[in-house]
Amino acid sequence: QALSQLHGREEFRALLQEAYDVGKAAGVPLPDDIVDDQYDRILGSDDMDATSSLERDIAAGHQSELDTFSGALIRLARQYGVPVPMSEKCYRALV
């Protein structure tokens, strides 16, 4: 289980980095340390069993914000020529 948790953390970090890279390419003024800060803040949360609204919607079979978040990120990545392989992998797995 520790290995799968490590792999999940690496994937999560990659997702954050990809979103940062797309934002920077689009000219969004993001702090240089935002990826590390968000990663540490979320993984350091006391409530690691909490679920996101996206996760709850998908689990319940409801319409979700998947395209609003992931789809938009992937479209912007293509527009700016930024590779986002982890985002694409996760998006494909959830649609």
Specify the number of domains making up the chain: 1
- pLDDT, average across residues 70-80: 93
Structure confidence by residue, pLDDT tens digits, 1-43: 444 566 688 898 999 999 999 999 999 999 999 999 999 988 8
Structure confidence by residue, pLDDT tens digits, 39-71: 998 887 665 555 555 566 556 565 556 666 788
Per-residue pLDDT band for 85 (boundaries 50, 70, 90) equals: very high
For residue 60, give the CATH number of its domain: 1.10.1040.10
Per-residue pLDDT band for 83 (boundaries 50, 70, 90) equals: very high
Measured in whole angstroms, the distance separating CA 40 from the mean position of its chain's CA atoms is 14
Which structural domain, as residue segments, surrounds residue 31? 2-94
- pLDDT, average across residues 85-95: 86
Please write down the long-range contacts of 64-67, taking CB distance under 8 Å and 24 or more positions apart.
66/91, 66/94, 66/95
User: Which positions ≥6 away from 1 have C-beta within 8 Å?
Assistant: none
Answer yes or no: are the C-beta atoms of 35 and 17 closer than 8 Å.
yes
Distance CA 81, CA 52 (A): 29
Answer yes or no: are the C-beta atoms of 87 and 18 closer than 8 Å.
yes
